[in-house]
Amino acid sequence: MKKNTQHEIEIQSVTAKGFGVGYIDGFTVFVEGGLPGDKLNVRILKAKTRYGFAKIVKILTPSPHRIESPCPVSDRCGGCQWQHAEYSAQLGYKKQLVVDALERIGHVKNPPVLDVLGMSSSPIHYRNKAVFPVVPHNNEDGFAIGMFAPRSHRIVEVDYCNIQHPAHVEVLKIVKKHMRDNKVTPYDETTHRGLMRFISIRTSLATGEVMVVLTINGNKFPHERALAEDLAKAGVTTVVISRHTAKSNVVLGDRFRVISGTGFISEDIGHVTYQISAPSFFQVNPVQAKALYEIAVAQANIKNKTVIDAHVGAGGVSLYAAKHAKEIIGVDIVPEAIEDGQKNAEINGVTNLRFICGAAEEVIPPILQETDAPQLIFLDPPRKGCDPALLKAIISAKIEEIVYISCDPATFARDVKILIEGGYELVTVQPVDMFPHTGKVETTALLCRTK
């Protein structure tokens, strides 16, 4: 297989990154934007020994699930991958991603994966949070704000986004004008110069509050009060400056300074009100988060048990489950998240949830060795999955039940393999579509100690 050669191919499956997968004489080809059932003419862009990447030259026969994308930049923007696929088909793709990961990585035969729970309402404008990078550009402004193109640091500027809350794009217009008027420079990661790095926006569906976080390579932002006033006219309720002077591409810095409003917004998920500050993790789709939490609580036999939540964040599933449990111990490594969690417990009148700040793999093992150790553990780790030391401690303590909430099928399957080898059975897996039109899928799974 050689670069720039053209071939006909039929797409068999998809990957989480939006590639269609097909085969040419046994050679695996990943095709950007391909959907199962597509018959395509493609051009090879890159060829390795066993696989290659290709671009669609012509759609010979479209997939029965292919539709016209409502987004004018969906072929260039990396924000989502499947605007051109029917929503019902997306749910099928995601279920298969979870099944494939458990079979291939977790070595689970016939994994008990249920159909993906999709959004009952129209799956648009569902994201309550967006992060927009600001980078140097050879345009009139000298900078660009938008979304990264797939697998690059090239910015695709957006005037409208089908998955973001409508308030987000309006905020970008105001910040862009302020940068232009005050000659604010974009951050250049190659030279470590320039001021503006990221613009983060979070909107509450329950209250309509909007929080804007400006991540800057320094301490002060030019005429920040004036910018806060302009944003307030557009409905922004709080503006925060995040100082980030390290040479890394993480979004938020190590210090936060509130320049207007309270520094947080409130969001409702079911019967629980959550107060969210800039550094706190919170689900981006409150509608589906409610479904996720309800399923997670229902999966476990939680009544009157002592529970530990290894990645509690600002309260998350623990606040939702507290009314059923005897006691919940929430652990998180982010101090600001712990502070938010404590406030949220107070707001909701929850008295049986206590918080500990620290790394789960360091804080939890001693707790599991106590005589009255928890019988149930919630795991809701970041994309990288659980630390091996935490899994080892769970296995050693012979915790009765584990409810594992995951945002990455691959690391979830890896951890499930370790837990099964340690004496657990994978009872059920319920995928939830937290991120429509993307290849991402959230799952909540129950694992029980085998008798």
Instruction: Look up residue 229 and give its DSSP letter.
Output: H
Q: Return d(Cα 404, Cα 140) in angstroms, integer.
A: 49
* Inter-residue contact 48 to 34 (CB < 8 Å): no
Where does 187-237 show beta strands of DSSP type E?
196-203, 210-216
Is residue 448 part of the annotated active site? The answer reads no
Distance from the first to the final alpha carbon of the chain: 52
How far is 178 from 249, CA to CA, in rounded Å? 23
The amino acid sitting at 326 is K
Rounded Cα–Cα distance for residues 151 and 80 (Å): 12
Look-up of token digits 């140097």? 136
Neighbours of 46 (CB within 10 A): 11
CB 30 within 8 A of CB 19: yes
| CA-based nearest residue to 90, from 67, 112, 107, 72 | 67
C-alpha 221 chain-centroid distance: 29
Amino acid found at 394: I
Return the closest-CA partner of residue 360 out of 380, 400, 382, 390.
390
Beta strands in 137-285 (DSSP E): 143-145, 147-148, 155-156, 196-203, 210-216, 238-243, 255-260, 264-269, 272-277
| String of DSSP letters for 273-329 | EEEEETT----S-HHHHHHHHHHHHHHS--TT-EEEETT-TTSHHHHHHTTTSSEEE
DSSP conformational letter for 212? E
Residue with tokens 């107060």: 275
What sign results for the dihedral spanned by CA atoms 249, 252, 257, 261? Answer: positive
Active-site hit among 77, 161, 407, 448: 407
64 secondary structure, DSSP code: T
One-character DSSP codes across 268-282 = EETTEEEEEETT---
Q: What are phi and psi of 97, to 5 degrees?
A: -60, -40
Catalytic residue numbers read 407
